[in-house]
Chains A and B, each alone.
Chain A
Amino acid sequence: MKGYDALPKSWQPVLSVARLTFRAATRFRVVQFLVLLLLALVVSLPLVLKHDGTALGLARIVITYSLGSIITILGFSTLWLAVGNLAREVEDGQMQMLAVKPLARWKILFGKWLGIMAVNTLLLAVSATAVGSLLNYRSRQLNADERQILTEQILTARAPHRAPTPDFDGMAREQLEASVAENQPTEFDRPSVLAKIRADLLARHEAVLPQYVRQWKIPGSTTDRPAMLRLKFRTARGVHEPVRLPTAWIFGEINSSNHVRLEAVLTTDTFHELAVPPDLADTDGLLPVHFVNLTGETVVFDLADGPELLVPEAGFPINLLRAFAILYCWLGLAAALGLAAACRLNFNVAAFFAVSVLLIGTFDGTIADVSERGSVWNIPEPELVTTAHRVTDWLLVPMIRLLDFLLGAITNYSPIESLSLGRSVSWTQVAAAFGQCWLGFGGLLAIVAITAFSRRELANPDS
């Protein structure tokens, strides 16, 4: 292949190994099989799972489920390719032929990683094209209103902006200190009191009493086109029964003439998007948003669901590209994990290890729950907790918390939900994902892999 001649000579062996790895995947029909599988999945999933005829329903199936399935399949296939390619070559002896050539062992690993990522590039490109095309095709089956929602709210890239969250911890401490100075208590449970004060402050922040007005000042307002205010609220009743409530909203400074009033009946416990006209920012460039509680009961805006302003900043194709860039970043990490495992372990053990890690990753929700609860046991009554429970927790919880931290660092960049909500997957997010997954975890795996592989004897008494 003459293409190598144009590159620096030291790259020639690395790219040659990469090309060989890609070629192995195609000659063994792995790529062809995966292309067919992915296409079948993208096309068939929306046929099997009927959506509710709304733009959001369509987006959930075509984007959320399809992307979720694609990344699961590609995650497994990447691990399999990485482990199989390296471990098999070591076991079958081909690695001896590479190791006796003038090519440092880290370059062999890097070449293999590049080859696997070339396979993933092709598969992700096919998947992205299939998802984009299918979304375009299925959108024609929606009615005009839903199609408009799809175009304006989902097939776009909107940057999310939120009002800054108050420092509840700092406020709680200040309040406690003031109270202690005033009342001079001799003895009290400081952490418990602090937690209660913080909870009280949070409740006051989230709750809007009947006939009261709540104001947020959100950055990122637009001057040329409308933005959307995405929000969810609930009543302060213990049971979350969705009810329809009359609401009133004022966007812009109330005291100035530059504001818009909007009244709408909205359902609780459901996300809504309200159109916010442009040019309503105050002198600081912030958009004042007021909620007027016209109802007879307290309305709660949970901090996590708190209103966020979605400002269009790019088109859907670029958002899809950025989302796939993050998926690509995850696959790069999976390839590094597979190669690192195969550097020291034989095929069966390495495959078991790598697949186990991936499976554990799918339980991220449970892991997060255990980590937050501080116990693997979900026992509501403290008196039922035995020594056995405590010992298990002592052994397992630290490991699960570490796992939660690692998984969180990777899955925090998940672009799937953002994409299905038309929310921007920003370049910053992409850069951070690459930095953390490739330079951070990937770098760590590379060090482990290169050290293990460089020390490994590539022949045995029988070969």
Chain B
Amino acid sequence: MGDRSTAWLLCEFAQIEYTRALSLQRDIAAAKHRGRIEEDLLLMLEHPPVFTLGRRGGRENLTVSEAFLSERDIPVVQIERGGNITYHGPGQLVLYPIVSLARRKLSVTGFVEALESVMIRIAADFGVSAVRDARNRGVWVKDAKLGSIGINIRHGVAFHGLALNVNTDLAPFSWIRPCGLSDVFITSLAAETGAATVAMEKARQAARSHFEAVFGVRLEAIEPAALERML
């Protein structure tokens, strides 16, 4: 897609609150629309436990009471991305690319497929064979979902992105019908490899290099504080 002469800014967080990452993404998308930020960006992070609902809801796909969740201190957040209910939590690698699609000559479908490719390649590095399903987006290992995609586009700038289960605690997924589909099992790289621990740092390293290869760009690290100053 490119000769890697294009640089994207990469901002990594160990763990960041869902709502804080959301307002950061919205601010970046708005700054890109206004022309204050030229570069495309990639946020790489993990979230503390949270359930999020897509544009078309998904609260009906929560199979436990909200009281059950508040006892465990897990918030439910309604957001604007595509897709239905999902869970984010520690051990899940989240990538939020904030991209001017037209300038990259990327269609929405092409962008979603590129995100799937990134996840498939990361999984392959761990010896896990994941595939896409054009009817049910995301990446799958047999009947189990390994990684999800949900994006939002404002004035041609895409944000939100992908979530890949590395060594996520899978129990919270049993409290929902993920993506609004019944009979969907969720898996992780740790569950597939049977390894007691799958190193998140190795997954992050794989994500950096496969993202660069799939999008044909170079990632240049920027500290969160420096990113905030650009907004």
Answer yes or no: do A and B interact: no
